[in-house]
Homo-oligomer: A and B are copies of this chain.
Amino acid sequence: MKAFHHSLIVSTRGKGTYEITEQIQEIVRKSKVQTGMATIFIRHTSASLVIYENADFTARKDLHSYFERLVSEDDPYLVHVLEGPDDSTSHLRGALTRTGETIPVTEGRLTLGTWQGVFVFEHRKAAHDRTVDIAVLGI
- The interface residues of chain B lying within 8 Å CB-to-CB of A105 are 135
- Which residues between 59 and 82 of chain A lie within 8 Å of chain B, taking CB atoms? 59, 61-63, 65-66, 69-71, 77-80, 82
CB–CB A113/B61 < 8 A: no
**Least Cβ–Cβ distance between A63 and chain B, in angstroms:** 6
CB–CB A3/B95 < 8 A: no
Chain A interface residue count, CB cutoff 8 Å, equals 62
Tell which of B62, B96, B116 touches A43, judged by Cβ atoms closer than 8 Å: B116
Tell which of B56, B63, B69 touches A95, judged by Cβ atoms closer than 8 Å: B63
A13 within 8 A of B: no
* A139 CA / B66 CA spacing, docked (Å): 42
- The interface residues of chain B lying within 8 Å CB-to-CB of A50 are 95
Decide if the interface of chain A is mainly helix, strand, loop or mixed: mixed
A21 within 8 A of B: no
CB–CB A5/B92 < 8 A: no
Tell which of B61, B78, B104 touches A5, judged by Cβ atoms closer than 8 Å: B104
A26 within 8 A of B: no
Which A positions have Cβ atoms within 8 angstroms of B? 1, 3-5, 35-37, 39, 41-45, 50-53, 56, 58-59, 61-63, 65-66, 69-71, 77-80, 82, 88, 91-92, 94-106, 111-116, 131, 133-135, 137-139
